[in-house]
């Protein structure tokens, strides 16, 4: 074999399996920190959960654990009391070896010493904190997947709006549909997949079904009880008028019973509190916009849902004109 052939063989060889066994090398002329190692004793169940989570994220589990430790250290946050108490009752019957920069390891030891906590235990608690956070996110995602359009509408009407008041009403079907759409996209589950691109942007018939279901249960009040929802043809005509006088516009708000039901839901399921925070953010930020500006923003942020809109060009022209007027 020639020298060239030998070099090619070395270059083409898969070295991934050797990576963890490679010695740490400090580059000449650089201040790169040498690699150190921390050995952590933790519960076997926690190690199994870490490996499973890392596999789902397509990450090395050592790297995932290291990111939690380094992230918590950089923020100088101590683990919560519940994680600390949980650790006391768990057997440390598994071992995890993590390579870590020597400077980071030194910072970890100093931080732990200043808080009177063994640095191995502090690292373990941060890993437990990371696992708990990920599991809470997974539970929230599962909750979001189970939310129906009627649930989302109920929570949206219960949420605080631009005025900062609980249970602020929403005026007009166009505004209601667009706020439900944005909220569903921000939550990333539940009714999100019910929306599709249609003649006037994102739309779904499920909104009408949800309104009917809430009304039948006596959860809606105000004008929404007295005024029939417009037909889809009427909605199209209203969109074409772009905010001009539309006659009677339905007002969507919760009845006293609806408020009690919404309050009960958020009180009984703590996971809904995080979801409500997202919904309230959408209602405050987008709810303050005029109908025209709301359409413009939805078309700007979710262009795929505006592809079939027959007023897309008009909305774009309005947005451009608005931008020109706002220039100094």
pLDDT in tens, 76-102: 888 887 788 778 777 888 999 999 899
**DSSP secondary structure letters along 17-36:** GGGGGSPP-PPTT--PPPEE
Arithmetic mean of pLDDT, 23-30: 48
Q: pLDDT at residue 219 above 90?
A: yes
Arithmetic mean of pLDDT, 230-250: 53
For the chain, give every domain's residue range.
34-144, 149-326
Q: pLDDT at residue 308 above 60?
A: yes
Q: Sign of torsion, CA 228 312 192 281?
A: negative
Q: pLDDT at residue 227 above 50?
A: no
User: Tell me, what's the pLDDT at 247?
Assistant: 53
Q: What percent of the chain has pLDDT over 70?
A: 80
Arithmetic mean of pLDDT, 281-290: 92
pLDDT in tens, 168-206: 999 999 999 999 999 998 888 789 889 999 888 899 999
Higher pLDDT, 228 or 209: 209
pLDDT in tens, 198-207: 888 899 999 9
């Amino acid at each position: 074999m020639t020298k060239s052939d030998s070099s090619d063989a070395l270059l083409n060889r898969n070295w991934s399996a050797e990576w963890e066994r490679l010695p740490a090398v400090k580059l000449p002329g650089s201040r790169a920190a040498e690699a150190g190692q921390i050995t952590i004793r933790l519960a076997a169940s926690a190690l199994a959960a870490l490996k499973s989570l890392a596999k789902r994220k397509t990450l090395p589990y050592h790297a995932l654990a290291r990111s939690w430790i380094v992230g918590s250290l950089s923020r100088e946050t101590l683990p919560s009391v519940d994680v600390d108490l949980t650790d006391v009752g768990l057997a440390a019957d598994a071992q995890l070896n993590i390579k870590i920069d020597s400077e980071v390891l030194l910072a970890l030891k100093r931080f732990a010493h200043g808080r009177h906590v063994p640095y191995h235990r502090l690292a373990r608690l941060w890993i437990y904190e990371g696992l708990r956070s990920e599991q809470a996110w997974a539970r929230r995602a599962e909750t979001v997947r189970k939310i129906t359009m009627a649930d989302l509408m109920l929570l949206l009407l219960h949420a605080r709006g631009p005025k900062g008041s609980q249970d602020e009403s929403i005026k007009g079907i166009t505004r209601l549909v667009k706020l439900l759409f944005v909220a569903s996209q921000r939550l990333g589950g539940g009714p999100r997949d019910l929306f599709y691109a249609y003649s006037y942007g994102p739309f779904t018939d499920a909104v009408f079904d949800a309104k009917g279901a809430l009304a039948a249960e006596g959860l809606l009040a105000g004008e929404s009880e007295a005024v029939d929802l417009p037909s889809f043809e009427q909605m199209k005509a209203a969109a074409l008028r772009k905010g001009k006088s539309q006659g009677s516009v339905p007002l969507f708000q919760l009845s006293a019973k609806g408020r009690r039901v919404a309050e009960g839901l958020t009180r009984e399921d703590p996971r809904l509190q995080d979801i409500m925070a997202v919904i309230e953010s959408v209602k405050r930020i987008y709810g303050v916009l005029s109908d025209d500006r709301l359409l413009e923003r939805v078309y700007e942020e979710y262009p795929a849902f505006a592809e079939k809109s027959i007023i897309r060009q008009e909305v774009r022209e309005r947005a451009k004109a608005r931008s020109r007027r706002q220039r100094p």
